[in-house]
Amino acid sequence: MSLQINVLAYFQLDQEQRALRVGLDAAERRQAATLKKAAQIKQEQHELAALLMTTKAKERNVEVSADALAVKINDLREKMNNTKTNKEYQGLLVDTGTLQKQKEAADEEGLALLAKVEEIEAKITETATRAAEQAKIVEMAQKEVLAARAELGDRLEQTLSKRDLAGKIIPAKVMEVYNKLAERLDGEVVAGVDVQNAKRHEYTCDGCSISLPRQTINALLNQPDAPTVCVSCGRLLVMSQGLREGLLEGK
């Protein structure tokens, strides 16, 4: 068997496994996307939990210092009640005023932090709802992947092993070309030769419809064991047995 025939056999099995994989590939891509989103939500949850902890700690600190200020203010008031001189009284009054202002500021800050805590808690609840919804979506996507795999059964594996077996008789260098082309052309690696006008020797690539030069046709005909590519699209060309025989007879 010539290289052309071997490449064609490999290509047909490769196309077959690609067609089999379409549903599974799509389901796997969807599943990956749902998992990515779930991970993003989880990250948000981590960040919110950390923010809640630090905000609560800040709020507690502010509360503690407000309480300490209240104690100090009470002490000063107590002292004011027991002062003997007006000067001492006035001094304590100023001090109390200063502490009062500090306490008011601390109370305000405490309230603002409490509001922030509530805001974060609301976000945490909302994110938990989204996480639960996303978990359901992930589960559905997972089921779709399993269903796609079940539907394939062992057909995919059988085709893959047949394809790989067919690949073993193709030289490694040609396989390298094949695989690069497969990546670039999404699997559309092999093209046939269309006859436009046999009398005038007009042939085209059935992959890209470009006219094939005489030397390409000659190479396909005379060197069936060397890879011949289309000058335009780069696909590996395969000449059908019928055309080959026809051309050889005509010679």
* 45, 93, 233, 240: which one binds Zn ion (CB under 5 A): 233
Residue 2 makes CB contacts below 8 A (sequence gap 6+) with 224, 225
* 48, 66, 190, 205: which one binds Zn ion (CB under 5 A): 205
Going by the DSSP 8-state scheme, the letter that residue 235 receives in this structure is: P
CB of 206 to Zn ion, least distance (A): 8
Nearer to Zn ion, 23 or 187 (CB): 187
Number of residues in contact with Zn ion under rule CB under 5 A:
6
CB of 204 to Zn ion, least distance (A): 8
Identity at 206, one-letter amino acid code: D
Continuous segment of H or E residues that includes residue 192: strand 190-197
Choose the binding region for Zn ion from 22-30, 88-96, 121-129, 197-205 (rule: CB under 5 A).
197-205
* Cα 190 → chain centroid: 30
Q: Is 85 helix (H, G, I), strand (E, B) or coil?
A: coil
* 207, 217, 236, 243: which one binds Zn ion (CB under 5 A): 207
CB of 161 to Zn ion, least distance (A): 30
CB of 210 to Zn ion, least distance (A): 5
Q: Applying CB under 5 A, does 167 fall inside the site for Zn ion?
A: no
Residues 230 and 208: beta-carbon distance below 8 Å: yes
- Residue 170 has φ and ψ, to the nearest 5°, of -100, 130
The Cα–Cα gap between 191 and 237 comes to 5
Q: Which residues bind Zn ion (CB under 5 A)?
A: 205, 207-208, 230, 232-233
